[in-house]
């Protein structure tokens, strides 16, 4: 007499090994996009094999679960990385605006800028470009809106190593107000 319950895990069908592999790869290595892709491929192969052998193989749920888990992990990672990038860029823009504002406003303002534009009301970043990986240089185009005129310029920043979000250090600032050029003397970074 067979003592198995109707809900027994094994029903005479063999478990498709790739279905189990899909779930394991997704659960253990799904954080890496390449292993997540491998989990999806393993799951697809397992589903194909299970479909070609009706009644002989089981593991459809494992294969689908592995594929869904791997996909969900990669989507979540993409969302988190996007959110992190947006926060990092916003922090860098805030630092750049504050540094440019401090360099072109008040007593430190270059003579052509102070004379032609008057007091600076605000600074707007119009473009940002990052060059280099190990020692990145951030080039920022900006508009400095003055009481009488708007100045246009470019400021270049380096970064302090090991800071996150990166701490910017101004290296140069040049611009134009009307037809006159101006440049801000930037103190050397002594780390």
pLDDT band at 121 (very low <50, low <70, confident <90, very high): very high
Only one residue has tokens 């899909």, namely 22
- Note whether 139 and 129 are within 8 A (CB): yes
Could you tell me how far CA 110 lies from the centroid of its own chain?
36
Other beta carbons within 10 Å of 47: 19
The residue ranking higher by pLDDT, 3 or 172, is 172
CATH architecture of the region 95-184: Roll (3.10)
Q: DSSP letters along 122-146, please?
A: EEEEEEEEEE-SSS-EEEEEEEEEE
pLDDT band at 1 (very low <50, low <70, confident <90, very high): very low
Other beta carbons within 10 Å of 173: 23
pLDDT band at 191 (very low <50, low <70, confident <90, very high): very low
Q: Average pLDDT for residues 9-27, to the nearest whole number? A: 89
pLDDT band at 190 (very low <50, low <70, confident <90, very high): very low
User: Is the pLDDT at 39 greater than 70, yes or no?
Assistant: yes
User: Is the pLDDT at 189 greater than 70, yes or no?
Assistant: no
Contacts 24+ apart (CB under 8 A), 157-163: 157/95, 157/96, 157/99, 158/189, 159/135, 160/191
How much is the pLDDT for 163?
A: 87
Share the mean pLDDT of the chain: 90
pLDDT band at 109 (very low <50, low <70, confident <90, very high): confident
**CB within 8 Å of 100: residues ≥ 6 apart:** 123, 140, 142, 144, 153, 155, 170, 173
How much is the pLDDT for 9?
A: 55
**Where exactly are the structural domains of the chain?**
14-81, 95-184
Q: Average pLDDT for residues 172-176, to the nearest whole number? A: 95
Q: Is the dihedral of CA 164, 170, 171, 177 positive or negative?
A: positive
Other beta carbons within 10 Å of 46: 27
pLDDT tens digits, one per residue of 125-167 = 999 999 988 888 999 999 999 999 999 999 999 999 888 888 9
Closest alpha carbon to 103 in 163, 149, 157 = 157
Closest alpha carbon to 113 in 186, 174, 182 = 182
Residues of the chain by 3-state class (helix, strand, coil), percent to 5: 45, 30, 25
Closest alpha carbon to 118 in 139, 142, 149 = 149
Q: Average pLDDT for residues 60-71, to the nearest whole number? A: 96
């Amino acid at each position: 007499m067979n003592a198995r319950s109707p809900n027994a895990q094994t029903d005479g069908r063999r478990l498709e090994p790739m279905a189990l592999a899909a779930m394991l790869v997704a659960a253990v290595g799904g954080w890496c996009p390449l292993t997540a892709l491998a989990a999806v491929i393993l799951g697809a192969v397992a589903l194909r094999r299970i479909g070609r052998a009706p009644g002989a193989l089981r593991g459809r749920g494992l294969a689908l679960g592995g594929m869904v888990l791997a996909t969900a992990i990669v989507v979540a990672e993409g969302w988190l990385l996007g959110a992190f990038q947006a926060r990092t860029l916003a922090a860098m823009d805030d630092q750049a605006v504050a540094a440019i504002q401090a360099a072109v406003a008040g007593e430190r303002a270059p003579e052509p800028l102070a004379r032609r534009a008057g007091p600076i009301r605000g600074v707007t970043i119009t473009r940002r470009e990052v060059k280099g990986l190990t020692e990145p240089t951030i080039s920022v185009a900006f508009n400095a809106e003055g009481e009488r005129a708007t100045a246009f310029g470019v400021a270049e920043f380096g970064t302090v190593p090991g800071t996150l979000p990166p701490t910017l250090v101004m290296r140069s600032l040049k611009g134009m107000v009307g037809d006159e050029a101006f440049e801000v003397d930037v103190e050397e970074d002594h780390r």
